[in-house]
Amino acid sequence: MAPRATTYREALREAHREALARDARVFVMGEDVGRYGGAYAVTKGFYDEFGPERIRDTPLSELAFVGAGIGAALGGMRPIVEVMTVNFSLLALDQIVNTAAALRHMSGGQFSVPLVIRMATGAGRQLAAQHSHSLEVWYAHVPGIKVLAPATLEDARGMLWPALLDPDPVVIFEHAQLYNLEGEIAEPPPAVDIERAAVRRAGADLTIATYGGSLPRVAAAAAQLAGDGIAAEVIDLRVLRPLDWPTVVASVAKTHRLLVVDEGWRTCSLAAELMAGMAERAFYDLDAPPARVCSEEVPMPYAKHMEEAALPMPKKIVAAARRLCGQG
């Protein structure tokens, strides 16, 4: 496999193009996905390439077009519904939680909803309190859906097709700060397992579990910790429901310490679930209480320095890791 340079955005575009070319049942729908090319340019040029039947601009009603996507999936299509930002998805919670996630159960297994919902998430772009949410845990709380958070070029490229093959709804969270991420990807791209977490860096002194837009910050913190003689093992959870407990448990059995980095708020967070789950599954492997670094319990500020102060940045992660290892 020869590597080639690309970006996270372009990896997503390639994944969409491949899916559209591979299966005539696949189509994309959402606000501004057609003529405009998508709020983050993921579908740029697709309207001309695939036509208005398969790249469908929708009215500004998430409740309506997510519901239409559910209906299309029930009718045998494979819709990719793009919701512009995670806060807008709250307008479609009834469709996602009460309909898409529950239909297999409510029908006694007679119906499935093979629907993919993509949305941008996360802060760091000075968009203030209404467009900076990290609500992944809201969806990870719900039985009946799978929740993915691609944080690498490979996952951005490789998660869409297996998500489309899933008979049940899949929600994909793309952190908005990752779209311009540059790097190399193998050609042809490797297959991606949407059931398992991934160990992104091996280490023996502590485990740092994270996902999505926090992965680059954790990687930067782990590199700094290595300079201090602390070898952090970095786990990219990437599948938030169902969580891959065996990978996290195996890592903590080796390192005996757990730090969770989660851009969501601390209260009722995914970090809280990781910490409780590890206490249940690996309590006697822990040499210290699990710790976490989350966003501050405030609506996200607009001012850049205040936004950075509210987020789990590398400085906070390094400080928490040092304390966990008895160096704080």
Q: Do the domain assignments include residue 10?
A: yes
Side-by-side strand order, sheet with 26-30: 55-57, 26-30, 78-85, 116-121, 170-175, 146-148, 239-241
Q: Note if 256 is an active site residue.
A: no
Residue 192 belongs to a domain: no
CATH number of the domain residue 292 falls in: 3.40.50.920
Rounded mean pLDDT of 196-225?
98
User: Over 80: is that where the pLDDT of 4 sits?
Assistant: yes
Residues 140 and 224 in one domain: no
Residue 18 is a catalytic residue: no
Among residues 157, 187, 217, the one where a domain terminates is: 187
pLDDT of residue 111: 96
User: Which of 187, 216, 234 finishes a domain?
Assistant: 187
Residue 170, pLDDT > 70, answer yes
Give the count of domains, the chain: 2
Q: What is the pLDDT averaged over residues 214-233?
A: 97
Q: For residue 88, is it within any domain? A: yes
Residue 235 lies in a domain: yes
Same-domain check for residues 120 and 248 = no
Selection from 328, 302, 326 nearest residue 315 by Cα: 328
Same domain, 211 and 289: yes
Same domain, 10 and 42: yes
* pLDDT tens per residue, range 28-55: 999 999 999 999 999 999 999 999 999 9
Report the relative pairing of strands 26-30 and 78-85 from DSSP bridges: parallel
118 and 265 both lie in a single domain: no
Q: What is the mean pLDDT of residues 217-244?
A: 98
Residue 193 placed within a domain = no
Residues 273 and 169 both lie in one domain: no
Q: What is the pLDDT of residue 2?
A: 75
Catalytic-labelled residue, pool 62, 154, 174, 263: 62
* Assessment of whether the complete model's pTM goes beyond 0.75: yes
* Beta strands across the sheet bearing 232-236: 198-201, 232-236, 206-210, 258-265, 291-295
Q: Are 173 and 207 members of one domain?
A: no
pLDDT at site 1: 61
> 165 and 215 share a domain?
no
Show the domain range for 20: 2-187
**What percent of the chain clears pLDDT 90, i.e. is strictly above it?**
97
CATH number for the domain harbouring residue 42: 3.40.50.970
pLDDT above 80: residue 135: yes
pLDDT, position 277: 97
Q: Is residue 23 part of a domain?
A: yes
- State pLDDT tens for residues 73-93: 999 999 999 999 999 999 999
Domain boundary among 158, 187, 216: 187
Q: Which two tokens stand for residue 242?
A: 């169902």
- Among the listed residues 31, 82, 131, 136, the single catalytic one is 131
